[in-house]
Amino acid sequence: MTHAARAPLAALALVALAAGCVSVPPPPPPVSENSAVVALVETARGDDGAGRHADAAATLERALRMEPRNPRLWQELARVRLNEGSYEQAETLAGRSSSWAGSDNRLRAENWRIIAEARRGRGDTAGAQAATDRADKLEH
């Protein structure tokens, strides 16, 4: 698509946003107020993206020693375990994240999506669907 063709679509999107026709969820809150924890999470994300899952997990475990009740850190570690194929650990860690999440339904829904992927990875399609259904209910 050319720039000239994209311009009207972009303008239409802006009008829809301004009119309230399109709902854009707010960005997630920062993973932590602690700059050292934020730096560790960024390092872990880079390692995980490069396939160095063990390094990413070790880095997140350091962050969790600083903030053991931070549900976002538990969720980050759950994602790393999911990416490395450690499905049971991913499900357990996502559950731990939810236990610290309080009323943050957005975070809890994402944890259920991680659980669904973990169950799917283990071949549990019924369990994966049940987890997806729980995530959907939390988002609506």
Q: Torsion-angle region of residue 23: left (phi > 0), alpha (psi -120 to 50) or beta?
A: beta
pLDDT for position 29: 73
In this predicted structure, the answer to whether residue 11 has a pLDDT above a threshold of 90 is: no
Average pLDDT over residues 113-135: 98
Whole-angstrom CA distances from 108 to 3, 35, 66, 124, 128 are 39, 24, 22, 20, 15
Per-residue pLDDT band for 7 (boundaries 50, 70, 90) equals low
pLDDT for position 140: 84
In CATH terms, the fold of domain 33-139 is 1.25.40
Question: Can you give the pTM of this predicted structure?
Answer: 0.80
